[in-house]
Amino acid sequence: MTNQTPAGELPADRYAVIGHPVEHSQSPFIHAEFARETGQHLVYERLLAPLDAFAATVRTFIEHGARGANVTVPFKLEAHALADRLTARAQAAGAVNTLVFDAQGITGDNTDGVGLVRDIEGPLGVSLAGRRVLLLGAGGASRGAMLPLIEAKPAVLFVANRTAARADELVARFADAAGRHEVRLAGGGWERVPAGFDLVINATAGSLQGDVPPLPEGAFAEGSLAYDMMYGARPTVFMTHALSAGAARAADGLGMLVEQAAEAFAVWRGVRPSTDAVRAALRARLNAKA
């Protein structure tokens, strides 16, 4: 972990994405572009942590002058446990994807859900207020999305999962927040999914295995958007299925990746980068590798 600095120049602030594996991460490219756009003096690297040494890896990184880090699989729960303080959205998510290092210790944050909402309401042009939203899956990805989705004030948020009990648990966890924002929150197994959703978000890992949640006919309302948190050079299996099942549009999670990174950058640096150019450049990079 060396950081060569020319004589007379202040050392760059250090950041990294920590995971296992981590070589596939697009975060160094994204944050380098953000730093160039905003004139921020920083370096951002990939940091492979042994599966049994996440905390030790983080503390060594801090000792070498790090200011913050992103956390990816499989360490988001360990990052939550390691943090000295948690933001409200990290507490709600029960997981951490962004760490801030300062004199007060380690602060854990979660920018995933905010990134999702910003992508949907920004580039994709769908205001969530008053809409009917279906969230597929009740795992960590869904839990991280729940509070930002609720704060966007959809009329209905229905959580569907293969195991109905897990969906019910997630609904119970966020019932108070839904009540404060006047969101009708419900959940259950696939067979309990009603019809007519304006937005259907796939937070399952099904697209990695080529699996599609067995939604009933009519789940997609006229003009609806199907959104898969997974992304790639080609449309995911969920996107393809959704379009054949009645969705008007389908989008993958590449924009969410960029938007959650922009939120983390703003947390660290106090300036919010624009995301359009980075999103386009990242899409071009993925397409070139296809």
Binding residues: 25-27, 72, 97, 112, 137-141, 161-166, 229, 231, 253, 260
Give catalytic status of residue 153 as yes or no.
no
Q: Are 64 and 84 in contact (CB under 8 A)?
A: no
Is the alpha carbon torsion for 66, 71, 72, 78 positive or negative?
Answer: positive
Among the listed residues 14, 76, 118, 269, the single catalytic one is: 76
Residues making up the binding site for shikimate: 25-27, 72, 97, 112, 231, 260
Catalytic residues: 76
